[in-house]
Chain A
Amino acid sequence: MLTTGTSRRGLIAAGAGLGLAASLPAQPRAQGRDPLRIGVMTDLSGPFAGAGSQPLFWGMETAIELFNERGGVDGRLVQPITADSQSRTETAINEMERLLGQERVEIVAGIYSSAHAVPLSGRFEQAKKLMWITSAIATAVLKDKNFRYVFRPTVHSDQYGEGSVAMIHEHAQAKLGMAPDKVKLAVIYEDGPYGTGVAAAIEANAKQRNMPVVLKEAYSASAPDLSTLVTKLRRERADVVLQAGYNPDITLFLRQAKSGGLRFKMLIGHGAGWSQIDKLTETFGQDVNHLCNVDPAAAQMLDWSKLQPGVGDLAQAFVAKYSEKRQVRDLPTHASMGFNNMWIFLQNVLSPAVKKTGGLTAEALREAALAVDIPVGGTIQGYGVKFEPPESAMAGQNARSIAVVMQFDNGRSRVIWPSSIGQPPVLPLPAGHAYAAR
């Protein structure tokens, strides 16, 4: 059996450390004043890194750089204490203990995977230190927990399920020529909290709209083969396939779906690996054209002139800075999630807390977080921010977060739902598409 021991941790951490040392800006000295130290934990190695965690980190890094360039908090600069959770839950727990115990940080931001967020959140609550989740979206992380120290400015998995099902329901008659209750849905998902949460939300939304789910099946994200799943999807003749996956399961599924003769009217991904449009296009070319993804909107997809004053300029600064450093055709959604949710923290939580108390304590940060009140259009991803109070079933969740459905269009993503802000979708997949139903 493969084991995890000191040698693995040491080597990978050393490797990641070397990479980080090269990529992070020089540690701030803040003109002789103590820097504001915050923990930043993402997966910089292991499968999650290539499924969105790396751009998540780069987005957060860009936010810290920009915040420091703009003077930090009254001249005090932010110093990130980074940790690589290596796509492993046990490493995430160990690194969290290191950040809280040895580094003595009051707040840790980041957390890509819901599988990590679920066990970590309880520990943060117990330690009374702030956990600021920038990515992990499973509803189960917060639902009915009544956490006081865990905050998630981004969307949650129930919203993913609502987005994809509502989009299909809305367009079924006009675009597919079918009554919505005749459109056969199939849900396939990785078996962690993220995939399970999204799948449950899809099923609930489909039931609510009287749409049949002909197959709902989980798989392990590291499964070496998904061809039997492809066979079963063909057998059920699903019209729309909805997937929640990381990587490499998404690319494995797409490859085996094509070679296994699976055809459908639409395939909708739900964040994580599906957010990596550049990588998917690089691997599959036109085969991923017109496929869809649900996520919070990436900054570059929005009309910046319609955002609150000053937010468009911030979005522009982020896109320019990120693009300059990372050669990408279309910024991955996780980059926007990393930047946006980190910026919300720095600007709207850290800054007022430090100004008010002069120090950096989890208690002050928590109070500042609960006081955040950003209207819709007030962030570079378009949503506003107002956290659910501790007595709410979703305590700590941003009640103003918004998920959109986007469609890949020649290597770029465009919003197609909500219809009020989106363009008309290409639905069904056009004839000649590699996956188009014949």
Chain B
Amino acid sequence: MDLLDPFFLEALVNGILLGGVFALPALGLNLVFGVVDVVWLCYAELVMVGMYAVWFLYTQAGWPLWLAFAACLPLVSLLGLLLHLLVVKPLLNQPPINQVLATGGVLFVLQGAATLAFRTDFRSLGVDMPPMEVGEVFVSGTKLAAFCAALLGAGVLWAFLKFTYVGVAIRAIARDREVMPLMGVDPQRIYLIASAVGGALAGLAACLLVVQLDVHPFVGLSFGPITFMICVMGGLGNMLGGFLAAFLMGLIISIGGFWGNTEYSYVIAFLFFILTIFARPRGLFAR
């Protein structure tokens, strides 16, 4: 095993970049779960809607790409708000299974709506950045840019949660939702804000994914299930845990694929997930 083999190094870099792709949706999903205590099963489908929005605005409406990206964030954020108001809020005091079924229902509604609106064709932005070449190591320019944007997004989220009053309230309510109302925090308002921020993160993930994947109504199946696994592995509701688990998962898939084969790398990742659940049911990074 040669750790300085350029192809191994490339696989390592690919794993880290792949982790960056998974990290943003994992952050958004964990934020919502941590605060509202509801799993948005349709989270990947919110990302899909954002991808369609960017595709439509850029290729059909002729908007500049940056403007399409800028519009995507508030749009999906609004979708997150609506999801909370129309679907989650009425079920807040219901058993968790009802909430899961309801957001699962939204998943199928969004897939069906996208099929009716855009048919089953695979849509592409046709945007690509040239690769970076360092010796024999190739790094995709598009993935690298997406990775940087994901880190930036995570950094902004961290600063928001750390340094703003609302952010502190969000973290506090995630820690103890029973006590915080006694301190004067309005939980309903915090739920709304968390849903909007969670939606915005889905919007940002959409911007990063739409340059890497084709858009189609079922694109969520490519990364949705793995995002849930990452969240569970990192500890549902634990944002830092989910963030780190995303990179761990990316590395397992990439290095596993390099040393073994691509198909088994996912089997290894799933096995690791199962073992994690057995060993640490509350997640690898649970406190």
Contacts and interface: CB of A to CB of B under 8 A. Distances in A.
Contacts of B216: 47, 50, 248
B14 A225 contact: yes
A47 B218 contact: yes
B122 interface: yes
A231 interface: yes
Contact of A12 (B15, B108, B129, B266): B108
A251 interface: yes
Interface string A269-303: 00000000001001101000000000000000000
B58 interface: no
Q: Indicate the member of B15, B122, B133, B212 with the most A CB atoms within 10 Å.
A: B122
Contacts of B225: 1-2
A209 interface: no
Interface string B60-88: 00000000000000000000000000000
Interface residues on A, range: 35 or more
A230 B265 CA distance: 14
A228 B221 CA distance: 20
A231 B11 contact: yes
A54 interface: yes
Interface in B94-122: 104-105, 107-109, 111-113, 115-116, 119-122
Interface string B207-249: 0000011101111011111101000000000000000000000
A12 B111 CA distance: 8
A223 B270 CA distance: 13
A231 B263 contact: no
B222 A18 contact: no
A227 B128 contact: no
Given A1-B228, A228-B254, A259-B141, A217 B263 contact: yes
B18 A218 contact: no
A218 B228 CA distance: 24
A182 to B, nearest CB: 22
A50 B121 CA distance: 5
Contacts of B120: 44-47, 49-50, 54
B257 interface: yes
Contact of B112 (A11, A282, A285): A11
Nearest to A12: B112
Contacts of A228: 11, 14-15, 253-254, 257-258, 262, 265
A157 B45 CA distance: 35
A218 B262 CA distance: 7
A263 to B, nearest CB: 11
Interface in A17-54: 18-19, 44-47, 49-50, 54
| Dominant secondary structure at the A interface | helix
Contacts of B17: 227
B283 to A, nearest CB: 16
B23 to A, nearest CB: 13
Interface of A: 1-3, 5, 7-8, 11-12, 14-16, 18-19, 44-47, 49-50, 54, 87, 191, 217-220, 222-229, 231-232, 234-235, 247-248, 251-252, 255-256, 258-261, 279, 282-283, 285
9 contacts: A2-B221, A5-B104, A18-B116, A47-B120, A50-B121, A50-B122, A234-B7, A247-B122, A259-B138
Interface of B: 7, 10-11, 14-15, 17-18, 21, 41, 104-105, 107-109, 111-113, 115-116, 119-122, 124, 126, 128-131, 133, 138, 140-143, 212-214, 216-219, 221-226, 228, 253-254, 257-258, 261-263, 265-266
Top 9 nearest A-B pairs by Cβ distance? A49-B120, A259-B140, A261-B138, A228-B257, A11-B112, A8-B108, A219-B262, A283-B124, A227-B14
